[in-house]
Every structure is written in structure tokens, then in C-alpha cells.
Amino acid sequence: MKQDFNVAVVGATGMVGQRFLTLLAHHPWFHIKALAASARSAGKRYEDAVGARWAMTTPIPDAVRDLVVLDAVADAEAIAAQVDFIFCAVDMKKDEIRALEERYAKLECPVISNNSAHRGTPDVPMIVPEINAAHAEVIPFQRKRLGTKRGFIAVKSNCSLQSYVPALHPLMADFGVKCALACTYQAISGAGKTFETWPEIVDNVIPYIGGEEEKSEQEPLKIWGSIQAGQIVPASSPAITTQCLRVPVSDGHMAAVFVSFEKKPTREEILERWASFSGEPQRLGLPSAPKQFLHYFEENDRPQTRLDRNLENGMAVSIGRLREDSQYDYKFVCLSHNTLRGAAGGAVLMAELLAAKGYLD
């Protein structure tokens, strides 16, 4: 199995792009060869281009500090020619992102994307590696549509659902999740912001995140969908309703979840399913896979964002406060790191999965 890949990070100066750089600095399989962003950053040394926007707690990795940033659009051919695939996280209009990602794919350069533009495209897999690794099997159909041999697009799902979908998934087969309600409490890094760049969020809660509730309700159904005639057909259930709030937290999206089942499990059965759950990343021993994907805390005051978001390098999901509810069967809270598991880390794990399965050869 090939384990040596040259990669580019497109959107390298952004919040998610910075996460990619810190995760890839010492990655055993993936080596950064090129960085790209907008024309505003192109031609500058990375350190100069990112400037005061560097928001990670560790310094800019030495390997990228002096790399000259390329223009993601104008230099696409040159970038595609020197790497095996790209990670992409850019803030552009949806139709521009769709066109940009298809352009790289058609240059025979696979795209591992954090953007939402292609999440609804039926032959583009949206993979949470522990849950729907098999959706990679749609890639040959997408290649046929695009007329490519290697090139394709695979996307990460939205960061908001990254805690409650993994928590509900192990309960579906045996107990049938009928409906779920999730209120999310989302960190400001999810908007590409820090407390310095967004002082209005200090001591405040903003009850609206554009487009987030639609994504949080619809994307799970694609993740739980099935491949039919070369396309992913979304599942028709469970019914999910959400409210997504922005809270004054730097990193980490919390969710308060209520759920009802076709066949109500006992509390012990739920805890057992969470404790024993693992997926392809654990079976394959992928470098970024958490050993234990779902961690349950018995303490009443856990998980806490600041204490628990970095569990297993920010790749695990923390769950707590499971108890019966008077209107739904159960309620619980769960937490995941939005720029690690919910964005760059989840994309790196997806790339590892696709590499292990030969899609990036």
C-alpha cells in the first residue's frame, strides 16, 4: 500500500487551513509540497501572508514558514502537477468552490474538501470514516461523470453534526432511531474567528448561524444513505430537528440531544454500544484514528468544552449526562472539536482511509 503522498493545502491561510498545516507537519504519509490561497496572499512567504491571523497555539511549522503561497485559481495547473492530491478549505462563493474543486479533479488531482459546496452532489461521498467508509465506492461513478482516471472530490460533513451523528449511529441498527432533536453550542473558530477578531461575541450568545440548521438536519441523512445506481440516496429517517447557537468558546462544538427509538434500549445497552463502537479507521489502524472514538463520562459535569475537546488529539467524541427524558426516550450531551474532528482532522482521517483503500494511488 502506497504511504507516501505529496499534498497541497488550498486555503492554507484560513482557520481550517492552519489546522491542516499543524496536523500535516509531522504526518507519516502526507507531505506538504504547496500552499495556496487567494490572489491577496499569492506570491508572499506563508508567514507574511498569514501574519497576525495565525490562530494556532503552536508556532507556524518550520517546513511551511518560507513556502511561497500560490494562487489557488490562477496556479491550479501548476499545483495539480506537483502533488498527489489537495486538501481544500476556502471561503468563496459556492458556485466558485464547485468550479474550483471540479477543476482540480479534472486535472487528475483528487480533492479532499472541507467546503460545503459539493456535499449535496449525489456522486460525491461525504465520509465520516467510522460510519460510512463504504460510500467511497461511489468514486468510480463520479470519475466516469467527470471523465477522469484519478481525479475525484470527497467531502467532509459539517462540523455541527460531528458529535451527535457518531453518538446516534451505533444505536441505529438494533434500536432504530425514530427522531432526534439537537441544540448545538458552537465555537467561534467555526466561523473562522478568534476573540481578537470577533470581540462582539465575548459575554454573548448569537442565536443564528446562517445555513447551519439545514446542514445539521439534512447531512446526517446523506451519511446514513445508500449507494443506488452510482449515486448516494439519502436515508429517509430519522427525523432530525436542530437549533444552532454561536457561543463564546474558542474551539469545540457541544450538542444537547434528545432521542426516541423504535425499540427503546436500556441505559446500559446504550452505554455498551458506545463503549464497543469502532469502525474502519480503528480496524485499519489509520495514523489519525482515535483508539476509542466515543468516550462516555459518568461525571455529571462532563464533558466540558475546555477540558475534553482535545481528547485523543481532538479526534474523539465525548458524551455525558445520558438519562431518560419525559418527552423523548433519552437525552444526553456530546462534544467534538470543530476544527480537528469537525474539519481538518476529519479530512486528514478521510484521506488516510481513501489512501488505505487505494483511491489516491
Ligand X SMILES: NC(=O)c1ccc[n+]([C@@H]2O[C@H](COP(=O)([O-])OP(=O)(O)OC[C@H]3O[C@@H](n4cnc5c(N)ncnc54)[C@H](OP(=O)(O)O)[C@@H]3O)[C@@H](O)[C@H]2O)c1
Site residues (CB under 6 A) for ligand X? Answer: 11-17, 37-38, 40-41, 72-73, 89-92, 114-116, 159, 189-190, 192, 338-339, 342-343
CB atoms within 10 A of CB 247: 17
Phi, psi angles (nearest 5°) of residue 114: -100, -5
Interhelix angle 164-175/212-223, rounded to 10 degrees, is 40
Minimum Å gap between C-beta 40 and ligand X is 4
Cα–Cα distance for residue pair 82/196, rounded to 1 Å: 36
Minimum Å gap between C-beta 304 and ligand X is 19
Q: Which residue is nearest to ligand X (CB)?
A: 14
For the question of residue 295 being annotated catalytic, the response is: no
Which are the contacts of 222, defined by CB distance < 8 A and separation ≥ 6? Answer: 119, 120, 126, 157, 232, 234
For ligand X, the closer CB: 66 or 324: 66
Catalytic: which of 159, 295, 334, 337?
A: 159
> What 3-state class would DSSP assign to 237?
coil
Asked, as a colleague might, if the bond just before 303 is cis with ω within 30 of 0, I would say: yes
Cell of 332: 444526553
Minimum Å gap between C-beta 114 and ligand X is 4
Do 99 and 80 form a contact (C-beta atoms < 8 A)? no
Minimum Å gap between C-beta 72 and ligand X is 4
Minimum Å gap between C-beta 139 and ligand X is 21
Cα–Cα distance for residue pair 8/101, rounded to 1 Å: 13
Catalytic: which of 135, 169, 253, 295?
A: 253
Minimum Å gap between C-beta 263 and ligand X is 34
For ligand X, the closer CB: 55 or 270: 55
For ligand X, the closer CB: 73 or 183: 73
For ligand X, the closer CB: 185 or 297: 185
For ligand X, the closer CB: 38 or 231: 38
For the question of residue 27 being annotated catalytic, the response is: no
Cα–Cα distance for residue pair 353/255, rounded to 1 Å: 27
For ligand X, the closer CB: 58 or 228: 58
Q: CB pairs under 8 A, 24+ apart, for 163-166? A: 163/253, 163/254, 163/255, 163/317, 163/318, 163/319, 163/334, 163/335, 163/336, 164/255, 164/257, 164/334, 165/128, 165/131, 165/220, 165/223, 166/128, 166/130, 166/131, 166/293, 166/294, 166/317, 166/334, 166/336
Active site residues: 159, 253
